[in-house]
Structures are given as C-alpha cells and as structure tokens.
Amino acid sequence: MGLGLLVLAGPALADRPYPEQYLLVFEACVTDATADQLMQCVGDAASACMEAEPDGQTTFGMTACMMIEAGFWDDRLNAMWPDVQAAVRADDAAEAGIAEGAFAQRAEALLTAQRAWIAFRDAECALDYALWGAGSMRSIAAASCKLDMTAARVQRLQTLLEPM
C-alpha cells in the first residue's frame, strides 16, 4: 500500500489496514514492555517506515509514517482501556466500604481524565499544526504530536495496570 493512499485517506486511517511490517516492528518492542520501557519504542515503526518507503523521507511520507505509528499506539490504548477500567473499578470496590465509599472515585476520575486528555491532545496537536502557519512542517509537527502524546498516554495507563 502506498503512503499516498494512507495520508489521503485521512480519517479512513481508522479503518486501518496498516502495512504489516511496521506493525511487526511496533509489536516487537511494546508487547512485553513495562510502562517504564514503553517510551523507548516511540518512533521505531515510523522510522522503519520512513527508511523503507520510497517517499518516506518526504514531508508527505514522514507524516504518513508517523500517523501509521500513532494509529498503532491508539489501537493499543483502545485495547487496554477495558483492562484499565476494570483495574480501577476493582480498586474502588475494595474501598467501597471505607468512609461510605468516599475514596472509591477512581473509575469516575479515570473517565473524566481520559475525556480531558483527548480534548487536550487534539488541541495541543492543532496548536503544533497552527504554529507552522503555511509551512510544510505543520503536517509533520501535528503527526509527531499525536504520536508522542498517544504513546505517553499509553504509558500512563500502563502504570495503572502494573503493581505499585
């Protein structure tokens, strides 16, 4: 699949199919990684894509490659979300009898934080895009922002699944 089709598809990226070789690079790094190790994986799949694709070193290609990897992180976030919710609900249930449940607020706080994070990520990446004005770097900046912020959110949520 050419990168041009991926970028032109825009919102259709949600339909995936990503080039498997880049997914394999991503999965090889993140599959057994702890939260502390996850950030070492950021950019691996995008870099592999930029090196392998004929237009991978163009603005268009770099943007597409970063969006491909951002999609991998987003998929990982969505896949782990039910487990994160279950973990905080279990912690809430364990404390439900203490002080009439006053401390059992994790699930609600998690949902509020996630909704706020989505809005913040989108606004922050829109800012990165806007800061470049008419410059061609704006697409790269926005894609890099989405990749980095989504990976960081996955790392944060992973900490909620690991023992303290």
Give the per-residue pLDDT at 163. 87
Instruction: Report the predicted TM-score, pTM, of the whole model to 2 decimal places.
Output: 0.87
Supply the angle between the helices 137-161 and 106-131 in degrees, to the nearest 10: 160
Block mean pLDDT (10 aa), the chain, length 164: 41 55 97 97 98 94 97 97 97 91 91 98 98 96 98 98 88
What distance in Å separates the CA atoms of residue 29 and residue 150, rounded to the nearest whole number? 16
Count of other CB atoms within 10 angstroms of residue 57: 12
Give the per-residue pLDDT at 6. 44
Give the per-residue pLDDT at 17. 57
Rg (CA), the chain: 18
User: Are the CB atoms for 21 and 52 separated by under 8 Å?
Assistant: yes
